[in-house]
Structure 1
Amino acid sequence: MLRWERGTVKSALGSWPGVDRLEIELEGGEETLTAIAYRELTGTPRTGETVLLNTNAVRRDLGTGGDAMVVARPDSLQAADEIVGHMVKARYTPMQTMVDAIDDPAGEHYETLRDARSIEGMPVIVADLHSSLPAIIAGIRAQRRSLRIAYVHSDAAALPAAYSRSAARLREADLLSAVISAGQSFGGDLEAVTVHSALLGAKHVVGADVAIVIQGPGNLGTGTGWGFSGVQAAEALHAASVLDGQGIATLRVSDADERERHRGLSHHSATVYGRALLTEVQLPVLARHDSRYNGFHESVRKQVKTSILKPAKKRGVLHQLTEIDGKGLRDALEDMPVRMTTMGRTLAEDPSPFLYAALAGRCAAKLAPRD
């Protein structure tokens, strides 16, 4: 069931492309909340305006950033601009929205997508946590600064691509060439019906040298072996494989997570790459000759061999353990224009997850074709 609450906009707290964050005084005047409004869905509420909120996640202290969601503006039911697209996202929900997808028969890119069959060896980096995105880009740019990068926002977590402040800042800093929202997600620079068509769009519409596929913020985990939204990473790597791409799997690691199942190599990486994946990929790890190599990295390597390579090999899947030099990656991470945090921990508190994401980025840059 949805929890509905009504309130009045007191002030605007800030914004980023596609999103407005507001202070809302709830009906009765005894409580205020912060709320997010997606311009694509509701437009921008004005100060003094009444809004209808969905407060489910806020009231249950779930991980939505502590914000309610603006669902409607009862006093501002203005007619929408002419709808150009023919594709519906968030289908059959009250907030379904029309988009102009790259694979829409009426769209400008349809002929390109209809004829596209392959991504022609383009490296495709996949991760299960959205916090890996800026670190992967740091690794790519540390190796080859001029590469064009497309980010495919999949639909396993936050459906609105605009929710990602990291992606917005990376676009503004010209570190990303495009955001493509795939599946039921929406609001990217380009829209695609599937991850497959998003990857074809990255190659043939954006002209990307490297694509990154990650779910948006809001990874859902249950503590069970298979009950986590990041398992979709396997499907993205399958898509890369059938389209002739080079799949690179970002290892999720931590030296600071208090949960035993996520210390060293996360059990999620073991499940996705060791058990769910049916195609060979590269698994970037820190090179043994690197001066930063220590007991932690040796432990991760052993876990990868035991939890990923061995079970995959039993099923006939031969992943490649790829040694990548970490030289210069810490500086590259610190130079990024977004704050590095994962599961509430910063780069200083838990550098390992960001390092391994950057290793995946550097690996992809090495594989990207040269002119």
Structure 2
Amino acid sequence: MFRLRPGTIKEITRCREELEEALVSVEGKEEKALNYPRLTGRLLPGDRVILNTTALHLGLGTGGRHFVFFNHRHSQVDMGDKGHIIKLRYTPYQLKVFSCEEEESPFNSCFHNYKGLENTPVLIGELHSMLIPAAAVIKYLCPHIRIGYVMTDGASLPLALSEGVNQLKKLGIIAGAVTSGHAFGGDLEAVNNYSALIAAREILKAQVIIITMGPGAVGTGTEYGFTGIEQGELINAVNILEGDPFLVLRVSFQDNRLRHRGISHHSLTVLEKIALTPATLCLPLVEEKKLNYLKSQLEERSISSRHQVAFREGTLVKEAMDYFHLKGNTMGRSFEEDRIFFETVGATARLVSEKILLEKSQG
């Protein structure tokens, strides 16, 4: 169930094509709300709206914002002509998209004629916060490379919620984004992760692909109850499509929960029990005590014997992010508060960049 309350739009504080932020009067208070124009139309001051207040009421991580559920001014909305694929199916918000696989799509032939990913490196991250540091390092080391991004439907479904994707596109760091499954709003829409990876390679012409879910990953403290479990399935998908999978380990020593100390149990479960095919992992070259702890975590579960483990310096990530004037945070922690998280992403991105540069030097 959701919690709905009536409100009135007081002021539009931020406006992008696919996302608006507003101040809204609700329950006798003035609070923030997000609006997706594609779902509920554009806002104007004075609009009477219905707000979904569920997450804020429960104290969940939506940045202290409600969501516009319905705008009384938009009682009739028409859809465009193209497309027959429905996302958010069988919900009040089901919407039509023009999927790149559809027969009428100008890209349809790509899915009949493709020759696989042809060993294209694919960085597979659990958290959306891995996207900015990974893309920044690769672009910093390989400025002429085309990076494609795929957002799965494991967390946030609207791509518009990601300020990071907006920044990376404006800076020309990523060539475009594909939204997969029920995720929507990308430069390209795809019905599943396999098609999305093909689209990134064949349509965006990506030479390296980064795939993560959107903001808002879910965990429950149980062995299999976390959305990041999709990483194992993505490793399998990349191998089936003849790509080169690099799993980005989730590493932190700042998380108070023991199950996330060092290498998160999410990454360990994915590598030990979900991934049926091998991937490359990379540990950052950090102080000896921490590095030995990370190594022991992999060895205890025999992960080192099933997957290829590399070691690289990850501190370059700060230099790369500063070069592009990008900021990073993860799980409410800044770069300085959780350096090893970002350095692990940076080390993996550095390893991928080395592969790209080596292949380029060999012609």
Q: Find the counterpart in structure 2 of residue 116 from structure 1.
A: 114
Corresponding letter in the other structure for 1:136: A
Change (3 A) 1:308 1:199: farther
Paired residues in the alignment total 359
Corresponding letter in the other structure for 2:280: Q
Q: Find the counterpart in structure 2 of residue 24 from structure 1.
A: 24
Corresponding letter in the other structure for 2:65: D
Query: Following the alignment from structure 2 to structure 1, what is the Cα–Cα distance between the partners of residues 141 and 292?
Result: 24
After TM superposition, the score normalised by the length of structure 2 is: 0.94
Query: Following the alignment from structure 2 to structure 1, what is the Cα–Cα distance between the partners of residues 324 and 260?
Result: 25
Q: Find the counterpart in structure 2 of residue 270 from structure 1.
A: 268
Cα deviation for residue 95 of structure 1 reads 0.5
Q: Which of 321, 328, 336 is residue 340 of structure 1 equivalent to?
A: 328
Q: Which of 283, 290, 298 is residue 292 of structure 2 equivalent to?
A: 298
Q: Find the counterpart in structure 2 of residue 309 from structure 1.
A: 303
Q: Find the counterpart in structure 2 of residue 151 from structure 1.
A: 149
Corresponding letter in the other structure for 2:3: R
Q: Deviations over 1:59-81 (max 9, x none)?
A: 11111222111121122224324
Change (3 A) 1:340 1:90: same
Corresponding letter in the other structure for 1:309: I
Task: State the SS of the aligned residue for 1:338.
Answer: coil
- Check the 8 A contact 1:6/1:50 in 2, yes or no: yes
Query: Following the alignment from structure 1 to structure 2, what is the Cα–Cα distance between the partners of residues 91 and 202?
Result: 24
1:352 aligns with 2:353: no
Moved more, 346-355 or 143-152: 143-152
Q: Find the counterpart in structure 2 of residue 239 from structure 1.
A: 237
Q: Which runs of 5+ in 2 are unaligned?
A: none
Q: Deviations over 1:259-305 (max 9, x none)?
A: 11111111111011121110100011135xxxx54321222122122
Cα deviation for residue 23 of structure 1 reads 0.8
Task: State the SS of the aligned residue for 1:14.
Answer: strand
Q: Find the counterpart in structure 1 of residue 175 from structure 2.
A: 177
Q: Find the counterpart in structure 1 of residue 284 from structure 2.
A: 286
Q: Find the counterpart in structure 2 of residue 62 from structure 1.
A: 60
Q: Which runs of 5+ in 1 are unaligned?
A: none
- Check the 8 A contact 1:17/1:168 in 2, yes or no: no
Query: Following the alignment from structure 1 to structure 2, what is the Cα–Cα distance between the partners of residues 137 and 339?
Result: 12
After TM superposition, the score normalised by the length of structure 1 is: 0.93
Query: Following the alignment from structure 1 to structure 2, what is the Cα–Cα distance between the partners of residues 142 and 304?
Result: 30
- Check the 8 A contact 1:23/1:35 in 2, yes or no: yes
Change (3 A) 1:347 1:327: closer
- Check the 8 A contact 2:97/2:189 in 1, yes or no: yes
Corresponding letter in the other structure for 2:147: I
- Check the 8 A contact 2:124/2:210 in 1, yes or no: yes
Task: State the SS of the aligned residue for 1:79.
Answer: coil
Task: State the SS of the aligned residue for 1:22.
Answer: strand
- Check the 8 A contact 1:180/1:188 in 2, yes or no: yes
1:163 aligns with 2:161: yes
1:21-100 equivalence runs, <5 A = 21-26=21-26, 30-100=28-98
- Check the 8 A contact 2:133/2:317 in 1, yes or no: no
Query: Following the alignment from structure 1 to structure 2, what is the Cα–Cα distance between the partners of residues 302 and 159?
Result: 36
Q: Deviations over 1:55-111 (max 9, x none)?
A: 111111111222111121122224324231111111111111111111111111111
Change (3 A) 1:326 1:4: closer
Query: Following the alignment from structure 1 to structure 2, what is the Cα–Cα distance between the partners of residues 72 and 230?
Result: 31
Cα deviation for residue 326 of structure 1 reads 3.2
Corresponding letter in the other structure for 1:298: N
The CA RMSD measured in Å over matched residues stands at 1.6
Query: Following the alignment from structure 1 to structure 2, what is the Cα–Cα distance between the partners of residues 216 and 56?
Result: 19
Percent sequence identity over aligned pairs: 32
Task: State the SS of the aligned residue for 2:256.
Answer: coil
Cα deviation for residue 127 of structure 1 reads 1.0
Task: State the SS of the aligned residue for 1:113.
Answer: helix
1:364 aligns with 2:362: no
Query: Following the alignment from structure 2 to structure 1, what is the Cα–Cα distance between the partners of residues 62 and 103?
Result: 35
Q: Find the counterpart in structure 1 of residue 202 from structure 2.
A: 204
- Check the 8 A contact 1:329/1:358 in 2, yes or no: yes
Query: Following the alignment from structure 1 to structure 2, what is the Cα–Cα distance between the partners of residues 33 and 7?
Result: 10
- Check the 8 A contact 2:316/2:346 in 1, yes or no: no
Corresponding letter in the other structure for 1:110: N
Moved more, 245-254 or 320-329: 320-329
Q: Which of 306, 309, 314 is residue 321 of structure 1 equivalent to?
A: 309
Q: Find the counterpart in structure 1 of residue 15 from structure 2.
A: 15
Query: Following the alignment from structure 1 to structure 2, what is the Cα–Cα distance between the partners of residues 134 and 152?
Result: 13
Q: Deviations over 1:135-175 (max 9, x none)?
A: 11122124312211111000010011111111111111111
Query: Following the alignment from structure 1 to structure 2, what is the Cα–Cα distance between the partners of residues 352 and 325?
Result: 11
Task: State the SS of the aligned residue for 1:221.
Answer: coil
